[in-house]
Amino acid sequence: MKFVSIIMGSKSDFDVMKSCSQTLEEFGVQYELIISSAHRSPERTKDYIAKAEAKGAQVFIAAAGMAAHLAGVLSSKTVKPIIGVPMSASALNGIDALLSTVQMPAGMPVATVAIGKAGAINSAYLAMQILALNNEELSMKLQEDRIAKAKKVEMDSLEIETIL
C-alpha cells in the first residue's frame, strides 16, 4: 500500500494539519497521521520512519513549530521526499520554524511550504504531485482540479466585473 505519512511535532499542530489530511482525502489518497517529536520523542520518530517505509510510505510531511527540526530528522533517516510545514507556535509567528525548516545542509533536502494552513494544504498537493509521477489517475484528478480552480476565478470575476 502506497501512502503519505503526516507527522506532527505536537497535538497543537492538528488544527492546522487537518487541512492537509482533508485535502488528501478529497483526492482519495491514503495517509497516516501521527504525533512524534524530534526533541521529545526522538526514538519514536526514528522507529516510526522505518516502520512507515516498510508499510509503503512514499512521501513524508513533517509539521513543526519553533526550532522545527522534525523535517530535518526525517531527512536524515530516509531518502523518501520530505515536505516541511512550518507552524506558527511562538512569539515569532512561525518565522523561526520557517528558517529552521528551509535551512537544511546540502544533501539533506526538505521541500518547505508556507507557514500554517496554506502550507498544510500545499504540502498535500505537493505530495500528490510526487505520487502522480507514477499514478495516471491521480495525475488526471490534479489536472481536473486545476481546471476547476481556473473556472472558479472566471465565475468569481463575472459576479463583480465591470468592463468598458
* Binding residue positions for substrate: 10, 13, 40
User: What are the respective helix, strand and coil percentages of the chain, to the nearest 5?
Assistant: 55, 15, 30
Residue by residue, DSSP assigns 129-157 as HHHGGG-HHHHHHHHHHHHHHHHHHHHHH
* Cell triple for 157: 470575476
CB of 85 closer than 8 Å to CB of 18: no
Return binding residues: 10, 13, 40
CB of 87 closer than 8 Å to CB of 96: no
CB of 75 closer than 8 Å to CB of 61: no
